[in-house]
């Protein structure tokens, strides 16, 4: 019998081009490791080129279904004195509701993790009774004929009806800051992360700030993905207490910025320590 995952991820893993070669990336790569560190069964629906070797970065952590594609979603970051310029060098197959295996559709926790606009707007419809979280970043990207990535405004109320929690960073919407209020009014739970300042949690449009532990920054990539995955994975542990789950997530995201690459995902020991802390101290990220 095929196992129903406790936590389902949907989105493209990526190949990131670096001076040292191709390395695995994308929200799903960080989130799969994070969710697995909670000791739960993780499923992943993705798409990549046939025989993509970088899939080995996620398969130890998630029961992976990969839709075959002509190429793997590929990003290249070029750093200039004026800042980072990002390019898309390839995109795998689109993912829609029809691609979701039957046993995946029964998952109680669902994390929609687009990285290159690859999810159809119907992707959340099959999940009845699940808690569905969206990390928005990948729906906020478009690219020109040269592959250079630009901001794209995305706000689809019909899709958001099927989503319980949305997470994005203040940097994601810097070109359209009014989106914060729009999303706050459209979903029950919204988290806007603000790096070392913590972030803002909106419940039915009402904002509450939360803090994150102070650490020495090494590299911030993946922190938002770790936060989102830890938040969703923590909810069942604390009987859906979102304040306690947020505190676990904030603690693990803070640890993540002290390490490089996929190693920023938490270890099982770090997850257990964060859970134990919250069981003793409560949801003190909001105090």
CATH architecture, domain 7-213: 3-Layer(aba) Sandwich (3.40)
Q: What is the mean pLDDT of the chain?
A: 96
pTM over 0.85: yes
Residue 149, pLDDT above cutoff 70: yes
Q: Which of 121, 120, 99 is nearest to 44 (CA)?
A: 99
Calpha distance 96→205 (Å, rounded):
29
Phi, psi values for residue 69, rounded to 5°: -140, 165
Assign 221 a pLDDT band (cuts: 50, 70, 90).
confident
| pLDDT (average), residues 184-191 | 98
Phi, psi values for residue 43, rounded to 5°: -115, 150
For the segment 18-67, what is each residue's pLDDT rounded down to a tens digit? 998 999 999 999 999 999 999 999 999 999 999 999 999 999 999 999 99
Coil, helix or strand for 262? helix
Phi, psi values for residue 250, rounded to 5°: -65, -40
Query: What local confidence, expressed as pLDDT, does residue 1 receive?
Result: 53
The per-residue DSSP string of 176-202 comes to -TTHHHHHHHHSSEEEEE-GGG-EEEE
Domain boundaries, given as residue ranges, for the chain: 7-213
For the segment 90-124, what is each residue's pLDDT rounded down to a tens digit? 999 999 999 999 999 999 999 999 999 999 999 99
């Amino acid at each position: 019998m095929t196992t129903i995952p406790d936590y389902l991820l949907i989105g493209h893993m990526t190949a990131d081009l670096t001076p040292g070669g191709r390395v695995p990336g994308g929200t799903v790569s960080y989130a799969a490791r994070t969710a697995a560190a909670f000791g739960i069964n993780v499923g992943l629906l993705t798409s990549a080129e046939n025989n993509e070797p970088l899939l080995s970065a996620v398969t130890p952590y998630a029961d992976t279904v990969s839709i075959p594609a002509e190429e793997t979603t590929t990003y290249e970051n070029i750093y200039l004195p004026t800042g980072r310029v990002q390019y898309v060098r390839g995109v795998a197959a689109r993912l829609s509701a029809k691609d979701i295996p039957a046993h995946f559709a029964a998952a109680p926790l669902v994390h929609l993790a687009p990285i290159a606009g690859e999810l159809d707007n119907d992707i959340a419809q099959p999940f009845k009774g699940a808690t569905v979280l969206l990390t928005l970043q990948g729906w906020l990207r478009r690219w020109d004929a040269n592959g250079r990535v630009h901001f794209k405004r995305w706000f689809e109320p019909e899709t958001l009806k099927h989503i319980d929690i949305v997470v994005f960073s203040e940097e994601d919407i810097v070109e359209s800051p009014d989106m914060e209020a729009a999303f706050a009014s459209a979903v029950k739970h919204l988290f806007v992360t603000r790096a070392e300042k913590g972030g803002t949690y909106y419940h039915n449009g009402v904002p509450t700030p939360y803090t994150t532990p102070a650490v020495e920054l090494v590299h911030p990539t993946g922190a938002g993905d770790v936060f989102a995955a830890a938040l969703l994975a923590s909810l069942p542990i604390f009987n859906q207490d979102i304040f306690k789950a947020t505190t676990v997530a904030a603690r693990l995201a803070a640890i993540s910025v002290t390490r490089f690459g996929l190693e920023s995902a938490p270890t099982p020991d770090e997850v257990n320590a964060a859970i134990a802390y919250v069981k003793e101290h409560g949801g003190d990220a909001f105090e």
